[in-house]
Structure 1
Amino acid sequence: MKWLRQYGTSNAGRIRLLCFHYAGGTASMFRTWHTLLPDVIEPVAIQLPGRDDRHAEPPYESMSELVPDLIDALTPILDKPFACYGFSMGARVALALSYELRSRGLPLPVKLFVASSAAPALRLPVRGWDESDEGLAAYMKELGGTSAVVFDHPDLLELFLPTVRADLKVVGTCPVPEREPLTVPVRAFAGNDDREASPARMLPWGQETSAEFDLNILPGAHFFTDAGTAQMLGAVTKDLVGVSAG
C-alpha cells in the first residue's frame, strides 16, 4: 500500500505503532525502528504524498483533506491494538487523526506519543509556510534535520521546498477548536534545547487528554541526540509492552 511502510516483518507484533514523519520528512526516518523495539511492537511508518517514491503526487495543503484519506488508508490495519507516534508535524497529524477516529466511532489508539511539537492549545503561528523561499530555507536550517546537500544544490532545494511548504501549511492553517479532550493517554517528548517546541511549549499537550499525561525531556534540540532517541524508544517500549501485557 502506498501509504504504509513496514521495514520489518509485517503483522508480527501484538500492537502496531503508527509513525508520522515531520514536515518535509519521509517514512524512512523510522526505517530502523523495528530493530530497536521489541517484537511485540510492530512499527508501521506513514508515507505522505509529495516525497520519496510518492514525489509525483501533490502534497496535501490542509488537514481537513489529509485526515479523511489517511483514515481510508489506515482502516484495514486497525484490526489490532495500535498506538500513534508523531514527530513535529506528525504529532499534529496523529492528533487530528485520533479526534476524527473518535468522531467516526472507529478504534482509538491505546496511546498517543508526540514529539517536538508545540501544544496545539497554545495556538502559536507556524513559521515558514507563508514566507519566501529564502525565509523557508532559513527556517529549515534553524530546525536542523535536513541534509546540507539539499542547501548546497539550488536545484535540489527548489524541488524540496514546495513539499515542505505544503506540509507546514497543513499545520499552520489547521484550526484548533474547543472540544472534549481524548480519553487516550498521551506521552510527550521535548528536546531540552529546542526553542521551537520547548518543554514549556509541550506541557499543554496534557489538555488534549482526560487520561494520563507525561512529558519526557530528552537530550537534544528539535531533533534529539542518539541518547535522547534511545531514551524515547525506551519509554515507548515500556508503555506499549505494559499495554500489550494488560
Structure 2
Amino acid sequence: MSKWLVNPLPRPDADIRLICFPYAGGNAATYTPWTKQLGENVDLIAIQAPGRAARLFETPYDEMEPLVDELLPLIVPLLDKPVIFFGHSLGSRVAFELLTRLKARGLSLPVHFIASGSAGPQEKALRKPTYHLSDDEFKAELSDLNGTPKAVLENEELMSLFLPLLRADFKIAETYRYTSDITLDCPLTILGGEDDTDIPLSRLQTWQEFFSSPADIQMLSGDHFFIDNHAHLVTDKVNGIISQVLNRLTPSMSRYG
C-alpha cells in the first residue's frame, strides 16, 4: 500500500471503508486509534501526506491542486466497496476537492461525506493569512489556536522540524476557496464544536450549497480540536452513521462484487 495510505488494522473483508483526512499540521495518528472503536466490518484508512510523521523529511504540498492530483489515483482503487470520507478542518476541504474530481470523471462517489470542524469550501478564512509571518509571529498564532502543545511550541528543535509543514498546510487552508458550481448527490453530515468561535453553526451550514440532500448538522462538546479532545464523541457519531449507511445499502451491496 502507498505511503500516503495508513491502514493500521487491515480488514480486507470489511463491508465499508472509512477514509480520513487530517487537519492542517495533523497526520494519520489522529485516526489510527479509532480502530479500537470501529466495528470489524469497517476498514479504516488515514491519509498521510508528505511532511509529517514517517514522511517528515519529504517536502509538503502548499497548494490544493497538486495535492489532490497526487491523491486521486490512490483513492480510485479504494472505491471497490462502499466508502465514507471523513475530513476535519482542512481535511474536509481536501476530501471535498476529491469529491469534485470523482464526479467530473463520472466515477462513484462515497456513500457518505462527513465534514468536521470546517466552514464550506467557498468560505474565506476568517483570520488574516499567517503562513508568511516570521517564526516568532507564526508561533504566536499557533499558540492562540490552541492546537499545538505548549511543550512543542517552546522546543526550538521540534519547531524547526514542524514549521515547514505547518506553513505549507496553513497556506492551503488560508488561500483555498472553491469557486465553481457543483451539486453532489452524496449524503452529508457536518460536525461542529460548540465552543469553536471560528466555525459557528452559520459557517457549518454553508456546506449545504453543494449537496442535493439536506445536511445533518451535529454539534459536539469542545473547541475546534474536539476531534482530539472528545474523540469518543466523534467515533460514536461515526459509528452511528456507518450503521445507518449499511442498513440503507444492504439491498444493493452486491454491486460492489
Question: Could you say whether these structures have the same fold, taking a TM-score greater than 0.5 normalized by the shorter chain as the test?
Answer: yes
Q: How does 1:75-154 map to 2 (within 5 A)?
A: 75-125=76-126, 127-154=129-156
Cα pair 1:219 1:225 within 8 Å, conserved: no
SS of aligned partner of 1:10: coil
Give the Cα separation in 2 of the matches to 1:208 and 1:37: 29
How far the C-alpha of 1:227 sits from its partner, in A, is 7.8
Alignment correspondent of 1:43: 44
Give the Cα separation in 2 of the matches to 1:227 and 1:88: 15
Could you list the runs of 5+ residues in structure 1 that have no partner in the other structure?
none
AA aligned to 2:115 is V
How far the C-alpha of 1:10 sits from its partner, in A, is 3.2
- TM-score, with structure 1 as normaliser: 0.93
AA aligned to 1:92 is R
AA aligned to 2:148 is T
Moved more, 67-76 or 120-129: 120-129
AA aligned to 2:45 is V
Give the Cα separation in 1 of the matches to 2:173 and 2:26: 14
Cα pair 1:190 1:198 within 8 Å, conserved: yes
Deviations 1:24-52 (A, max 9, x none): 11101111111111222221101010111
Moved more, 175-184 or 209-218: 175-184
Give the Cα separation in 1 of the matches to 2:230 and 2:201: 14
Alignment correspondent of 2:222: 220
SS of aligned partner of 1:162: helix
Cα pair 2:192 2:200 within 8 Å, conserved: yes
How far the C-alpha of 1:142 sits from its partner, in A, is 2.1
Give the Cα separation in 2 of the matches to 1:115 and 1:142: 20
Deviations 1:117-137 (A, max 9, x none): 122233235642233322322
Give the Cα separation in 1 of the matches to 2:177 and 2:229: 35
Alignment correspondent of 1:34: 35
Moved more, 220-229 or 196-205: 220-229
Give the Cα separation in 1 of the matches to 2:177 and 2:33: 34
How far the C-alpha of 1:225 sits from its partner, in A, is 7.2
- TM-score, with structure 2 as normaliser: 0.89
AA aligned to 1:19 is C
Give the Cα separation in 2 of the matches to 1:243 and 1:149: 41
Cα pair 1:189 1:215 within 8 Å, conserved: yes
Deviations 1:152-193 (A, max 9, x none): 211211221110110121232323213122111111111111
SS of aligned partner of 2:80: coil
Give the Cα separation in 1 of the matches to 2:110 and 2:204: 20
CA separation of 1:146/1:223 partners in 2, compared to 1, >3 Å: closer, same or farther? same
CA separation of 1:173/1:52 partners in 2, compared to 1, >3 Å: closer, same or farther? same
Q: Give aligned-pair identity as a percent.
A: 35
Cα pair 1:12 1:39 within 8 Å, conserved: no
Give the Cα separation in 2 of the matches to 1:139 and 1:234: 32
Cα pair 2:51 2:57 within 8 Å, conserved: yes
AA aligned to 1:109 is P
Could you list the runs of 5+ residues in structure 2 that have no partner in the other structure?
249-257
Say if 2:82 is the partner of 1:62: no
SS of aligned partner of 2:181: coil
